[in-house]
Amino acid sequence: MRLPHVPLDEVEDVHVGLIGIPWDGGTTNRAGARHGPRQIRDLSTLMRNVHHVTGVKPFDLANCADLGDTPVNPIDLHDTIARIEAFFRDVHAAGIVPLSAGGDHLVTLPIMRAIARAQPVGMVHFDAHTDTNDRYFGEHKLTHGTPFRRAIEEGLLDPKRTVQIGIRGSLYTSHDMDWGYEQGIRVIQIEEFFDLGVEAVIAEARRVVGDGPTYISFDVDGLDPVYAPGTGTPEIGGFSTHDAQRMIRGLRGVNLVGGDVVEVAPPFDPSGATALVGATIMYEILCLLTEVVAKR
């Protein structure tokens, strides 16, 4: 978004930090999200100063900076998770609200480890998948299909203040989603989404997260694949970008502590259309975050 690049060790008086996480080592099927941050950055140059609906001027409301990419280790999952967490601990310690571009969805886990130790967060989660599976390939508990199971187990994420929107797609077993329901997660499958309509979904999401600290996690595969073909696990029949924009705008005033846009995989969309969507969604979230910061 044409923001100055500020290395983390030179940060001073930054309120909202944009951060890339070029890593997809948690991906079980089609990798490529490691290239997401670069292409999102490229396309973000199309963003302008004023939000055309809300009138918010994010760059006036708060000091925003591009904090660059986190360190990663493409061949060691556990090392990468640790590096990402360490980076976000520094961000958090500097009082910066993070807005991140993934990377695959597992990256949200170390972010939460860095910012939600003191108090669990609620979450508005846009996705085709619940990402609350227990394990893959036998004993493996850290993949892009498991971050929120881990986050809940570790007390970082409050399931009763979590809403998942856009869930769909065939299941491995009839019990895939039982665990989430038992924890109290509010799941709005895509069928219910279309039945309720955008306004009612917004109201329900606000009801679930309430006044507590809340995180927004936006997996682009929540969108219909025609809006985001460049992703690793597309599921047909999702919501539109316009729906997504409306929903995010509907979260104005929620007590937000951070957000991310994940699973943009440029190799599957060299045209850059998916990254443009990712950049625009980040801009929408940025408008919310800067309003929150400005009110403090």
Q: Which of residues 248-267 bind a second copy (CB under 8 A)?
A: 267
Where in 119-138 is the site for a second copy (CB under 8 A)?
136-138
* Choices 10-18, 53-61, 112-120, 202-210; region in contact with a second copy by CB under 8 A: 53-61
Alpha-carbon distance 150 to 295, whole Å? 32
- The residues, any chain, with a CB within 8 Å of residue 273's CB and separated by 6 or more, are 229, 230
Contact between 6 and a second copy (CB under 8 A)?
no
In angstroms, the Cα distances linking 203 to 103, 159, 225 are 30, 18, 26
Closest distance of CB 231 from a second copy, Å: 11
Q: Which stretch binds a second copy (CB under 8 A): 47-55, 92-100, 148-156, 205-213?
A: 47-55
Nearest-approach distance from CB 249 to a second copy, in angstroms = 9
50 touching a second copy, by CB under 8 A: yes
In whole angstroms, what is the distance from residue 35 CA to residue 24 CA? 9
**Which residue has tokens 């520094």?**
90
The tokens for 248 are: 């995010």
**Which of positions 139-158 make contact with a second copy (CB under 8 A)?**
140, 142-143
Smaller CB distance to a second copy: residue 46 or 203? 46
Position 68 contacts a second copy (CB under 8 A): no
At residue 191, what is the residue type?
E
Q: Is 176 in the site for a second copy (CB under 8 A)?
A: yes
Contacts of 21 (CB under 8 A, 6+ apart): 37, 69, 70, 72, 84, 100, 101, 102, 103, 107
Structure tokens at 166: 């856009």
What is the C-alpha separation between 44 and 2, in angstroms, rounded? 8
Binding mask 82-121 for a second copy (x = CB under 8 A): ----------------------------------------
Looking at the Cβ atoms of 122 and 126, the one nearer to a second copy is 126
Give yes or no for residue 237 binding a second copy (CB under 8 A).
yes
Under the criterion CB under 8 A, does residue 170 sit at the interface with a second copy? yes
Q: Cβ 225 to a second copy, closest distance in Å?
A: 6
Cα distance between residue 60 and residue 113, in whole Å? 30
As beta bridge partners, residue 234 has: none
